[in-house]
Structure 1
Amino acid sequence: MLDAVRARLTDSGAEALLVTAPANVRYLSGFSSPEDGAVLVTLDDAWLITDDRYTVQAGEESWLSNQVITREIFERAAGLLEGQTLAVEADHMTIAWRADLERHLNRPVVTTQDLLRPLRMVKRPFEVAWLREAARITDVAFGQVVDATLRPGVRELDVALELERAMRAEGADGVSFEIIVASGPRSAMPHGVASHRPIEAGDLVTIDCGARVGGYHADMTRAIGVGAVQEPLRSWFDAVLAAQRAGVAAIAPGADGTVVDAAARDLLTAVGLGDAFGHSLGHGTGLDIHEGPRLSPRSKDTLAPGMVVTVEPGVYVAGTGGLRIEDLVLVTDTGGEVLSHTPKDYREVG
């Protein structure tokens, strides 16, 4: 892993890299409090740098044998370098941080962007295992909560709270993101996080949730009818489900992100719903809930075995409502393995 980082580092014209983006710090070190740490990588060594609140934790968790305990990360990082050209992560380091670091170095840094992105897109076996477990917990929690909780008069927020409780009880470290429960006209909001709105009979409720386990994020969405759902939402559900299944079927090693996106998007366009599907079909997930690869009309990514992506078409019309259906999918040597096992066919509860 570090050798791959060093190879990309050399291509950037630098001899050392200071990693400060939390997900990248955890990826390189295994340290579970990466917001309070950094990793310094040179051509022949690597250090985890954190402060004295984490001395024991860093010793237990990090697979980097070199650990520096300090409250002055930039000063100590500069002291470990011997005149090497240092690269930093431009998409995370602030202007103020950069100025402080350059003051300690007494020379300018080189900026890089997405240096670790292609490495993180292909999951290591233990990362796939964490994502499988996160998806399993998400399925268990969803199954426990929806039939017992989703009914007229219950607030969206109450459903979200029960989902989080069930995920934690099943072993999750927490939730992957603020849980989305969008009912009635609020279902036209792709990211309509749970509100105090009481769910009503006839609502088609979009629930987007995921468990976080070992730092890795699951992501799944289902749309459930609370009683009979009327047109046009009932027909939209069938269209979105067909598009979602087409997107999953298009997952394969060597497939371009644009092609996978089109497999779903073209079906919605054919039934007049293309303009109501405004976001991309999917994204990678891992130590960040949104990471590469992307499945979109603008994607430049090609799928490879070991990547884990979401497939999540949706339709949203202001004043009427909408829905989304989403699975987590592992790219295999022969196609895609769906990690989300909660049924996604149309159903009614309450």
Structure 2
Amino acid sequence: MKVDFSPPTTARAAVLHSAGDLRIQEVPLRHLGPDEVLVAIDAVGVCGSDMHYFATGRNGSNVLRQPTVLGHEASGTVVATGSSAAVPPGTRVAVEPAVGCGTCSTCRSGRYNLCPVGHCFGSPPTHGTLTTHLIAPSRAVHPLPDAVPLELGALVEPLAVAVWAVRRAEVAFGDRVLITGAGPIGILCCQVARAAGAVEVTVTDVNDARLEQARKLGATSTVNTAQEDLELAGVDRLLECSAHPAALRQGVHTLRPGARATVVGQASSSADGIPLALLQRFEIDLVCAFRYAHAFPTALALAADRTVDLAAVLTGRFPLEQAAEALRAPAADPAHLKVVVRPGDTPR
């Protein structure tokens, strides 16, 4: 007997009204467009940007001006599609939250991560993925390989950030790499850099628990910079993942002539003290990485064959009703790496 499926008209979501004011409420779902899909969300990773919005009402230069659903790292199952969407219902997917407008010259050049008019889920005022159901363009969902559990699909997005960062850093076989910051992105960058051929990867942080996890996941050495000096020289590639200007300044001084420094963590609006004369004298490239472009396929492949261990990065789970606790968890317990919200779960 055929059972008709009527897509829901509302979803339960975590809506940020102002700093610290996160409410679980019903939000309307519009009708699907021809090339859109409806995703039943299984898991949503908590990112530093979500934590900033929750704590202060802003993330970098972007400010919360109206109630907005947070979240941009997500996985789920397609449950309904528009008339021309090519992804069939029942497909398990990872969501790519920012895909650009697709028509401007920047997008057409392939660098859609830099689209000047694009939107990103969970970046106010665009509603995000901390919801039971999400409407997304079909090009924004990537089928998960069978080897990737649905929950871990939410971590494909930060893995794509790491893939793009390592590409921008131009890490190559035999390179010596320094990664400053052992948060989720830093530890994922460590694994991706090793996969790209780096023979030495040093990871720095001020948290011993995170440094221990970095060692377990591929770092050849670690340095707690709160307790000891960083005494490195001749480094080929620096990936700055901590978002602290002092770490960038310190890391640059470890680089060999002709090396490359890549800013991965969210940069401050300005950073005084960058040794520009040193960069010029030794032709050290200073580049930046912003989100990613065409990185999801590689991230999915690395996760599927366990070249990158996503499960080792996941340290906590919360139901949607405890989304505020999830947003506080990494700061409350620095041993946390990545926590996820499970919109389909019920509170314990």
> Highest relative contact order (Cα 8 Å, sep 6+), 1 or 2?
2
TM range (shorter): under 0.3
In terms of fraction of residues, the more helix-rich structure is 1
Q: TM-score, normalised by structure 1?
A: 0.26
In terms of fraction of residues, the more strand-rich structure is 2
Structure of greater Rg: 1
